[in-house]
């Protein structure tokens, strides 16, 4: 572990178990997906109906970029060398806050933070559509989504910083490219001509964002297991 991570973790972990109320509050913000993805989903819908065609264009590009970002984050976590989370690093002597199970996320590599990748990518897209709401989304992602994961021992600071940088980069690249190509403009006009198909699909996509893709990944995993059983 590098000195930067060690220093930040040391000072943050000094707060652990000083207040049972604070520890449980931080754990509460992390435990429920509605307080993470649900909040950003509200931002998406507000911009969709408040910012007009410009906002819709950037939100569509942001959502597409988010899928690419989370796929890349998962690929990196699976392909890069395994990194134990602070909570499971014996040499760190990390003091788990009240309410945190020592077995949580055991066996999952911590680098990079897919939460940071997902929410900073989405917040960057929101920023393209509305600077005020984008700044709020970025601040919310940093304070109420990423910081708790460091405090609870789920991630090192560099996990979060790397994930945030990756998310911002993909968000900027996606919005700068997708929102300007002609093919995207054509598909965007199709959305207005087929609202009965588009809006149910958009609801399902934002539901998956609110649920952090848990139900989608569960359904995909179940389908793969079923295919293996059929062809076994």
**Which pLDDT tens digit goes with each residue over 1-37?**
678 888 888 888 888 888 899 988 988 888 888 888 8
R_g over Cα of the chain: 19
pLDDT, greater one: 169 or 89: 169
pTM, rounded to two decimals: 0.85
Q: What average pLDDT does range 52-80 have in this prediction?
A: 84
The domain ranges of the chain are: 3-231
Buried b (16+ CB within 10 A) or exposed e, 167-185: bbbbbbbbbeebbeeeebe
């Amino acid at each position: 572990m590098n000195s930067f991570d060690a220093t930040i973790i040391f000072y943050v972990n000094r707060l652990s178990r000083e207040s049972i109320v604070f520890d449980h509050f931080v754990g509460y913000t992390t435990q429920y997906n509605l307080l993470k993805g649900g909040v950003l989903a509200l931002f998406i819908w507000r911009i969709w109906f408040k910012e007009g065609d410009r906002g819709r264009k950037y939100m569509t590009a942001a959502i597409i970029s988010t899928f690419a970002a989370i796929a890349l984050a998962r690929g990196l976590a699976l392909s890069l060398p395994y990194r134990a989370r602070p909570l499971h690093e014996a040499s760190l002597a990390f003091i788990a806050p009240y309410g945190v199970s020592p077995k949580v996320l055991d066996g999952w590599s911590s680098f990079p933070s897919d939460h940071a990748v997902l929410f900073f990518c989405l917040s960057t897209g929101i920023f393209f559509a509305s600077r005020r709401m984008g700044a709020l989304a970025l601040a919310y992602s940093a304070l109420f989504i990423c910081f708790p994961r460091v405090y609870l021992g789920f991630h090192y600071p560099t996990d979060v910083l790397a994930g945030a940088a990756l998310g911002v980069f993909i968000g900027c690249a996606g919005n700068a490219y997708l929102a300007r190509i002609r093919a995207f403009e054509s598909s965007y006009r199709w959305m207005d001509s087929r609202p009965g198909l588009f809006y149910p699909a958009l609801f399902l996509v934002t539901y998956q964002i609110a649920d952090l893709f848990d139900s989608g990944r569960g359904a995909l995993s179940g389908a793969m297991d079923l295919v293996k059983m059929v062809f076994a």
